[in-house]
């Protein structure tokens, strides 16, 4: 079946612009996660959604970052007023449930470059 | 807080050599433990996992045992191949399934 898809695969933007990154999870998966992979910080959790519950935003690095998930499926991560330190690969993952034992399946990522 | 520490890379081995990548963790409660692998140009994929103490995860010849007494989850393979060259990430999952990753270990296998 189809895996997790993300778009765009690459995004180059200028400092100060807003960007939107999209994630399509595996059909039927109720949990959706966003992570960031950067050279300096490694892989870090940003935010996750489970069903209709309020999202866990505990990993968002600043209030310039936000995310939403519409209809329990597609998710969009928005970064406002991008900074150079936002340059990273943004990964989306989904899993059947949000328990500690569930396997997360990752998308190919969006490489964001802020000039 | 919760954290994962991996041995630093890069690790360079000859084909058919024995591989160990050390991973230790700090966690409250009872996390699940994972090894994810990232092959060149590809996305992260699950290699193996263990969800409780003394469980052994295994896949593609790789193994790791969840050791609560030493808070470790070391990855081993008896005979590596060139195709195993990749970056390996140890991770733990606790509340809500959030993953905390180690810094990654790059493995390079030479023919």
Q: Which residues contact B106 (CB under 8 A, 6 or more apart)?
A: B9, B10, B11, B86, B87, B88
Distance (Å, rounded) from C-alpha B101 to C-alpha B85?
19
Contact B71, B29 (CB under 8 A): no
Q: What is the per-residue pLDDT for A94?
A: 95
User: Which residues of chain A are within 8 Å of residue B36 when distances are taken between CB atoms?
Assistant: 106
Q: What are the beta bridge partners of residue A93?
A: A33, A106
Percent of chain B predicted with pLDDT > 90: 86
Q: What is the per-residue pLDDT for B58?
A: 97
Q: What is the pLDDT along chain A (115 residues), one digit of tens a residue?
A: 589 999 999 999 999 999 999 999 999 999 999 999 998 778 999 999 998 888 999 999 999 999 999 887 999 999 999 999 999 999 999 999 878 888 999 999 999 999 9
User: Which residues of chain B are within 8 Å of residue A42 when distances are taken between CB atoms?
Assistant: 101-104
Cβ count near B25 (within 10 Å): 20
Q: Which of A99, A101, A104 sits opposite B99 (nearest CB)?
A: A104
User: Which residues of chain B are within 8 Å of residue A38 when distances are taken between CB atoms?
Assistant: none
* Residue of A35, A37, A104 best to disrupt the B interface, most CBs of B under 10 A: A104
* Residue of B8, B43, B102 best to disrupt the A interface, most CBs of A under 10 A: B43
Residue B45 scores a pLDDT above 90 = yes
Distance (Å, rounded) from C-alpha A56 to C-alpha A92?
15
């Amino acid at each position: 079946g189809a895996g997790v898809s993300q778009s765009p695969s690459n995004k180059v933007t200028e400092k100060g612009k807003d960007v939107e990154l999209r994630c399509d999870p595996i059909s039927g998966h109720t949990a959706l996660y966003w992570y960031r992979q950067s050279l300096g910080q490694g892989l870090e959790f940003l935010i996750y959604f489970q069903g209709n519950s309020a999202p866990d935003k505990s990993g968002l690095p600043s209030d310039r970052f936000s995310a939403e998930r519409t209809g329990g499926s597609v998710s969009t991560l928005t970064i406002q007023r991008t900074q150079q330190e936002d340059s990273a690969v943004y990964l989306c993952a989904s899993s059947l449930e949000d328990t500690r034992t569930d396997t997360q399946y990752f998308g190919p990522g969006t490489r964001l470059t802020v000039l | 807080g919760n954290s994962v520490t991996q041995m630093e890379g890069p690790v360079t081995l000859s084909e058919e050599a024995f591989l160990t990548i050390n991973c230790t963790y700090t966690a409250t409660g009872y996390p699940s433990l994972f090894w994810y692998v990232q092959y060149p140009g590809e996305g992260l994929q699950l290699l193996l996992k263990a969800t409780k103490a003394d469980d052994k995860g295994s896949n593609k010849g790789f193994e790791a045992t969840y050791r609560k007494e030493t808070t470790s989850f070391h990855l081993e393979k008896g005979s590596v191949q060139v195709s195993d060259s990749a970056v390996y990430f140890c991770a733990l999952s606790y509340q809500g399934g959030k993953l905390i990753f180690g810094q990654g270990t790059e493995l390079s296998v030479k023919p």
